[in-house]
Homo-oligomer: A and B are copies of this chain.
Amino acid sequence: MNNKSLVYLQSGGPTAVINSSLYGAIIEAKKGGFDRIYGSLHGIEGLINDDLCDLEMENNRDIELLKQTPGSILGSSRYKIPEDLKDPVYQKIIDTLKFHEIGYVLVNGGNDSMDTCAKLSKVAKTADYPLQIIGVPKTVDNDLVITDHSVGYPSAAKYVINTIHGIMLDGNSYSVGKVYIIECMGRDVGWITAASDLLSGECRPDIIILPETPFDLEAFLAKVERIHKQKNHVFVVVSEGIKFQQDEKVEVDSFGHAKLGGVATKLADIVRERTGLSVRDIMLGLPQRGGVAYMSKVDQLEAIGSGAFAVKALVSGESGKMVAIRRLSDYPYKSEFFLTDVMKIANSVKPIPASMLHSDRKMDTSFAAYLRPLIQGEPDLVYEDGILACSRFRYVKAY
């Protein structure tokens, strides 16, 4: 037994480039140094249940198309690994690793996944099982600390910018005024929502509401009415995770069914009721994290690069680290990868810094300077009969 095999995990919600990171890792790992290259099905669940697949795909087309295939092709997981390291699932994981002679683990995910990396490292050490683990960063939310940005965020931002652009051009076609309330992803941080501020002229949103700042409903309503009088249409972009200053009870009493929708629907109801204006609520929803049509080339290349860099880190003996990105210059955009301790990532969240916020519910110009270089470039996507071509890779269980 030499433990020279590698396993790759995808975890958490998908991004437009999640399978591009996998692509980078496969291409690099195939260059040598590993006995076999496995994928774990549904993240950590695959290691617990011995549900692995072979990643040495024969079909070159299925490998190439990973770069534009939405969704987590290895399957994702909502399973939360136990805090207690003596929980029997950890022994099951060690058993799976041993059985397949796996000495290398790559975990593609956000801060929860980096916490998983840290736990696995500890458990392996206790069990005296030699294991190297490297994290590959991924999250549309852009909430990872230390790294300049998270892989996957630029494409989500670009999706939001271009989709809202289309909605605003549509809305501005009409002479009868309306309030549009558009909801973006981002439970704790507003990075995705804020991206809409890169639009300019009559397509720049009028109001941007972020979780980073307290939300004052009365001030918001006054502003909506003022803008409506000034320019007829009012475009509001709001993070799903904003907190209402108002009493939770008030919110519930007036609008019932919390299950009935997100914050855009609730806000739309309030604006309708309080101002009498015509309101349309729009949830951008799941396509934000799987909308490959607006994939950023910069993001795609960094995803591929980070997967490859993680493999190289394993080869050079590193463990317990996550691949992070350091920005070297804006124009032309240049960046480099480096390694950081997973523990530094695991328990922190990065909100938009105050310096990038503007007092009047728009973004400071430093935010656009930060984001604009990241959304550059459009990959040539391959279509078959008008439908995006996807990797037809299917799980073949490894024994």
Contact = CB atoms under 8 A, between A and B. Distances in A.
Contact of A282 (B71, B285, B293): B285
Contacts of A261: 260-261, 265
A70 interface: yes
Contact of A166 (B42, B78, B168, B291): B291
Q: Among A161, A260, A292, A296, find the residue whose CB has the most chain B CB atoms closer than 10 A.
A: A260
Interface string A230-270: 00000000000000000000000000110111000100010
A11 to B, nearest CB: 10
What is the total number of copies of this protein in its complex?
2
Contacts of A158: 386
Given A162-B387, A387-B198, A70 B170 contact: yes
Contact of A386 (B291, B296, B386, B387): B296
A175 B372 contact: no
A163 interface: yes
A85 interface: no
Contacts of A24: none
Contacts of A287: 163, 166-167
A71 B166 contact: yes
Interface string A167-181: 111111111100000
Nearest to A368: B385
A391 B343 CA distance: 49
A71 B269 contact: no
A52 B55 CA distance: 62
A300 B239 CA distance: 35
A5 interface: no
A48 to B, nearest CB: 12
Interface in A339-378: 372, 375-378
B260 A162 contact: no
Contacts of A167: 286-287, 290
A262 to B, nearest CB: 11
Interface of A: 10, 13-14, 42, 45, 69-73, 75-78, 158, 161-163, 165-176, 198-199, 256-257, 259-261, 265, 269, 272, 282-283, 285-287, 289-294, 296, 372, 375-378, 381, 383, 385-388, 390
Given A71-B172, A259-B272, A293-B293, 18 more contacts: A14-B170, A70-B165, A70-B169, A71-B169, A71-B173, A72-B173, A162-B387, A163-B291, A167-B290, A169-B390, A170-B290, A256-B256, A260-B260, A260-B265, A283-B285, A375-B387, A376-B386, A377-B386
